[in-house]
Amino acid sequence: MSTDYPSFPEESARADQAGHNTSMGQPPSIKTAVLLMRVGAAISALSLVVTLLMLDTFKDLARAQLEAGTGTFTQADVDALYQVVLIAAIAAGVIGIALWLWMASANGKGKKWARIVATVFAAINVLSFVYALTTDTSPTLSLLVGAASVLVGIAALVFMYRSDATQFYNANSAR
């Protein structure tokens, strides 16, 4: 006893497999936002390089701040602080690059949550930059790189909130 099961035409099966990719292509606003986020990742990489090149400046600054404090310090204290700053700078740089690329990927796929997360990250970036401006301890080159990062982030947000981008997010999040 054999049972014949209905089969789907090959074209229909291919359409189902690829349907989620072809429902709506990236509008120009999203393409621009994704490009800007990749530029943001490059700026983060540049920021990491600038930070590593300026570590001696940071070491001198740390020494001056320790001398201004009330306690005594040794060269070992300065060296230990230098190591902490080095590790923190590398970790922050790598995490920053990864976050920019993650947001570029997720927003490029039209994930609504990614637009919200990118907005939060941009707000944190702006607040961090404003703090750096007010502390008077950041070297000018670091401030310039930070300003570029903030401007790129804000520009990406402007494109992510345009009407064609909103339609893209709605179409891709409905699935």
The reply to whether 18 falls in a domain is no
Which tens digit of pLDDT belongs to each residue from 53-84?
888 777 777 777 777 776 677 778 778 888 88
Give the orientation angle of helix 55-68 with respect to helix 28-53, to 10 degrees.
60
Would the pLDDT of 95 be above 70?
yes
| Residue 161 in domain | yes
102 falls within a domain: yes
**What's the CA angle centered on 40, arms 146 and 170, to 5 degrees?**
125
pTM above 0.85, yes or no: no
In a domain, 118, yes or no: yes
In a domain, 21, yes or no: no
Instruction: Show the domain range for 60.
Output: 29-173
What does the block give as tokens for 79?
A: 């060296």
> Residue 2: inside a domain, yes or no?
no
Assigned domain for 5 exists: no
Average confidence (pLDDT) over 87-111: 95
The answer on pLDDT for 157 being more than 50 is yes
What does each C-alpha distance from 134 to 35, 41, 129, 145, 149 come to in angstroms? 30, 25, 9, 16, 17
Q: Provide the number of structural domains found in the chain.
A: 1
DSSP 138-163: S-HHHHHHHHHHHHHHHHHHHHHTSH
What is the pLDDT, as a whole number, of residue 71? 63
Tokens for 65, please give them: 């701040």
Domain assignment present for residue 72? The answer is: yes
